[in-house]
Structure 1
Amino acid sequence: MTEQLREHVARQLERSRARSTQLTDAVDEHDLVRQHSKLMSPLVWDLAHIGNQEELWLVRDVGGREPVRQDIDEYYDAFKFSRSKRPELPLLGPKETRQYVGDVRGKVFDVLEKVPLEGRRLVENAFAFGMIVQHEQQHDETMLATHQLRVGDPVLQAPPPPAGNAVLTTEVLVPAGSFEMGTSTEPWALDNERPAHPVHVKAFHIDTAPVTNAEYAEFIAAGGYDREEFWSAEGWMHRLHSKLRAPRFWQREGSGWARTVFGVTEALVPNEPVVHVCFFEAEAYAKWAGKRLPTEAEWEKAARHDPATGRSRRYPWGDEDPTPQHANLGQRHLRPAPVGAYPAGVSPLGVHQLIGDVWEWTASDFHGYPGFEVFPYPEYSKVFFGSDYKVLRGGSFGTDEAAVRSTFRNWDYPIRRQIFAGFRCARDAF
Structure 2
Amino acid sequence: MRGRIAEVLTRARQRSLGLTDVLDEAELVAQHSRLMSPLVWDLAHIGNQEELWLVRDVGRREAVRSDIDELYDAFKHARANRPALPLLDPTQARGYVGTVREKVWDVLEASALRGDALVDGGFAFGMIAQHEQQHDETMLATHQLRSGAAVLHAAPAPTGTSELVGREIIIPAGEFTMGTSTEPWALDNERPAHRRQLPGFAIDAVPVTNEQYLAFLADGGYDRPELWSESGWAHRREAGLVAPQFWERDTDGQWFRRSFGVLTPLRPNQPVVHVCWFEAEAYATWAGKRLPTEAEWEKAARYDPATGAARRYPWGDTEPDARTANLGQRHLEPAEVGAYPAGASPAGVHQLIGDVWEWTASGFDPYPGFRAFPYDEYSDVFFGGDYRVLRGGSFGTDPVACRSTFRNWDHPIRRQIFAGFRLARDLHPEER
Q: Give the match for residue 10 of structure 2.
A: 14
Q: Give the match for residue 158 of structure 2.
A: 162
Do 2:162 and 2:269's aligned partners in 1 also have CA atoms closer than 8 Å? Answer: no
Deviations 1:228-247 (A, max 9, x none): 11101100100010010000
Q: Give the match for residue 47 of structure 2.
A: 51
Q: For residue 348 of structure 1, what is the amino acid of its counterpart?
A: P
Partner of 1:376, secondary structure, is coil
Task: Give the distance between the partners of 1:201 and 1:423, measured in 2 at CA.
Answer: 21
Matched, 1:303 2:301: yes
Do 2:161 and 2:269's aligned partners in 1 also have CA atoms closer than 8 Å? Answer: no
Deviations 1:228-277 (A, max 9, x none): 11101100100010010000000112222111000001111110000000
Deviations 1:381-411 (A, max 9, x none): 0000003200000000000000000000000
Task: Give the distance between the partners of 1:162 and 1:357, measured in 2 at CA.
Answer: 11
Task: Give the distance between the partners of 2:295 and 2:401, measured in 1 at CA.
Answer: 20
Q: Give the match for residue 117 of structure 1.
A: 113
Out of 193, 201, 207, the position equivalent to 2:190 is 193
Q: For residue 91 of structure 1, what is the amino acid of its counterpart?
A: L
Task: Give the distance between the partners of 1:90 and 1:238, measured in 2 at CA.
Answer: 35
Out of 22, 31, 41, the position equivalent to 1:35 is 31
Do 2:222 and 2:241's aligned partners in 1 also have CA atoms closer than 8 Å? Answer: yes
Q: For residue 168 of structure 2, what is the amino acid of its counterpart?
A: E
Query: 1:15-414 maps to which residues of 2 (within 5 A)?
Result: 15-168=11-164, 170-253=167-250, 254-414=252-412
Deviations 1:340-390 (A, max 9, x none): 000000001111100000000000000000000000001000000003200
Runs of 4+ in 1 over 6 A off after TM superposition: none
Task: Give the distance between the partners of 2:312 and 2:3, measured in 1 at CA.
Answer: 23
Q: For residue 121 of structure 2, what is the amino acid of its counterpart?
A: N
Q: For residue 129 of structure 2, what is the amino acid of its counterpart?
A: V
Partner of 1:244, secondary structure, is coil
Do 1:167 and 1:339's aligned partners in 2 also have CA atoms closer than 8 Å? Answer: no
Q: For residue 295 of structure 1, what is the amino acid of its counterpart?
A: T
Task: Give the distance between the partners of 1:175 and 1:45, measured in 2 at CA.
Answer: 47
Q: Per the alignment, do residues 167 and 350 of structure 1 end up closer, same or farther by CA in structure 2, a change over 3 Å counting?
A: farther
Deviations 1:132-191 (A, max 9, x none): 000000000000000000100000000011211243461110101110000000000000
Partner of 2:377, secondary structure, is coil
TM-score normalized with structure 1 length: 0.98
User: Which residues of structure 1 form unaligned runs of 5+?
Assistant: none
Task: Give the distance between the partners of 1:395 and 1:418, measured in 2 at CA.
Answer: 14
Do 2:154 and 2:332's aligned partners in 1 also have CA atoms closer than 8 Å? Answer: yes
Q: For residue 99 of structure 2, what is the amino acid of its counterpart?
A: D
Task: Give the distance between the partners of 2:248 and 2:4, measured in 1 at CA.
Answer: 44
Deviations 1:17-41 (A, max 9, x none): 0000100011111110000000000
Q: For residue 261 of structure 1, what is the amino acid of its counterpart?
A: S
Deviations 1:65-109 (A, max 9, x none): 010000000010000000000000000000000000000000000
Partner of 2:107, secondary structure, is helix
Task: Give the distance between the partners of 2:272 and 2:283, measured in 1 at CA.
Answer: 12
Task: Give the distance between the partners of 2:383 and 2:276, measured in 1 at CA.
Answer: 19
Partner of 2:337, secondary structure, is coil
Select between 115-124 and 281-290 the one with higher mean Cα deviation. 115-124
Do 1:361 and 1:423's aligned partners in 2 also have CA atoms closer than 8 Å? Answer: yes
Partner of 1:214, secondary structure, is helix
Partner of 1:419, secondary structure, is coil
Q: State percent identity of aligned pairs.
A: 69
Q: For residue 264 of structure 1, what is the amino acid of its counterpart?
A: V
Deviations 1:102-133 (A, max 9, x none): 00000000000002211111000010000000
Task: Give the distance between the partners of 2:269 and 2:306, measured in 1 at CA.
Answer: 31
Q: Give the match for residue 426 of structure 1.
A: 424
Task: Give the distance between the partners of 1:258 and 1:301, measured in 2 at CA.
Answer: 35
TM-score normalized with structure 2 length: 0.98
User: Which residues of structure 2 form unaligned runs of 5+?
Assistant: none
Q: Per the alignment, do residues 159 and 289 of structure 1 end up closer, same or farther by CA in structure 2, a change over 3 Å counting?
A: same
Task: Give the distance between the partners of 1:429 and 1:201, measured in 2 at CA.
Answer: 12
Q: For residue 298 of structure 1, what is the amino acid of its counterpart?
A: E
Task: Give the distance between the partners of 1:240 and 1:165, measured in 2 at CA.
Answer: 36
Q: For residue 207 of structure 2, what is the amino acid of its counterpart?
A: P
Task: Give the distance between the partners of 1:107 and 1:390, measured in 2 at CA.
Answer: 38
Task: Give the distance between the partners of 1:328 and 1:117, measured in 2 at CA.
Answer: 31
